[in-house]
Amino acid sequence: MNRSEQLKRHLCPGRVYRRADLAQWSKSVDRHARELVAAGVLQKLQNGLYYYPKASVFGRVPAEERELVRRFLKEDDFLLTSPNAYNTLGLGTTQLYNTHVVYNHKRHGRFTLGGHAFEFRRKPRFPRKLTEEFLLVDLLNNLPALAEDVETLRARARAKAKELNAGKLRLAARDYGKVATRKFFDQALADAA
C-alpha cells in the first residue's frame, strides 16, 4: 500500500479537511494530496482546503455549506444565512439570490468554496441562530443591495414590526442594526404604541 493510500485510510467521506489536518498522517502532504486529487478521491476546494466526497446512488454528494465555512474559518462562531431567508418574513420579497452571507469575526470578502459563492462579513456581533426579529433588522440593513422595491419593503417592514415582539425587535435593532435601521424601528415601534 502506497503512502497516499495510507493517508486515505484516515479520511472520512463527507468531511472537509485543511492541509494541516492531512499533515498529521503524511510526511509529504502536498504530494499525497495531489495524488488523491488526481485519483478523484479528494476534491480541492481552495488552497489548503480539501473535500472527501460522499458517494450516493445519484453520484457524489457536495460538501455541506456549514462544514465548508466551519473548516474555512477554523471555528464554529459564525452565522450562515442568505438574502433568500428574507422571503420567509412574508413581506412579498420574491427574488432568489445565488449567494450565502457569513457573519463572522475573522474574514471579510467574497470567496468561492466548493462551487458555492460566499460573502463573508466581519461583524462584532450576530446571533447564534436566525430569528424573525434579526431577519427583519438584517433586511433593513441590506435594503439598498436587494433587487426589490425599497419603499414597498419599508412599508411592509413597518407593518411586520407591529406584529413581532416589540422587546425582542428593539433588542435586535440595538444589537445588530445600523444607525438608520435603529431609527426606523424606533419610529415604527413608537407609532405602534
Q: Which band of pLDDT confidence, cut at 50, 70 and 90, is reported for residue 71?
A: very high
Residue 1 confidence (pLDDT): 57
For β-strands 100-104 and 78-81, DSSP reports them as: antiparallel
- What are the cell numbers at 3? 503512502
- Tens digit of each residue's pLDDT (9 = 90 or more) over 169-190: 999 999 999 999 999 999 998 8
24: cell is 498529521
Contacts of 46 (CB under 8 A, 6+ apart): 72, 111, 112, 113
Was domain 3-63 assigned CATH 1.10.10?
yes
Report the candidate in 128, 130, 123 with the shortest Cα–Cα distance to residue 108. Answer: 123
49 has pLDDT over 90: yes
> Residues 101, 83: contact at Cβ < 8 Å?
yes
- Segment 101-115 shows an average pLDDT of 94
Instruction: Give the model's pLDDT for residue 47.
Output: 86
What DSSP line would sit under 127-179, residue for residue?
Answer: -SS--HHHHHHHHHHTGGGSSS-HHHHHHHHHHHHHHS-HHHHHHHHHHH--H
- Span 103-132, mean pLDDT? 94
pLDDT of residue 62: 87
pLDDT at 190: 87
Residues 6+ apart with CB under 8 A from 75: 106
Convert the pLDDT of each residue in 54-68 to its tens digit. 988 888 888 899 999
At residue 37, the pLDDT reads 93
pLDDT digits 0-9 by tens, 123-149: 999 999 999 999 999 999 999 999 899
- Domains in the chain: boundaries: 3-63, 66-192
Confidence (pLDDT) at 115: 85
pLDDT per residue over 3-40, tens digit each? 778 888 889 999 999 999 999 988 899 999 999 999 99
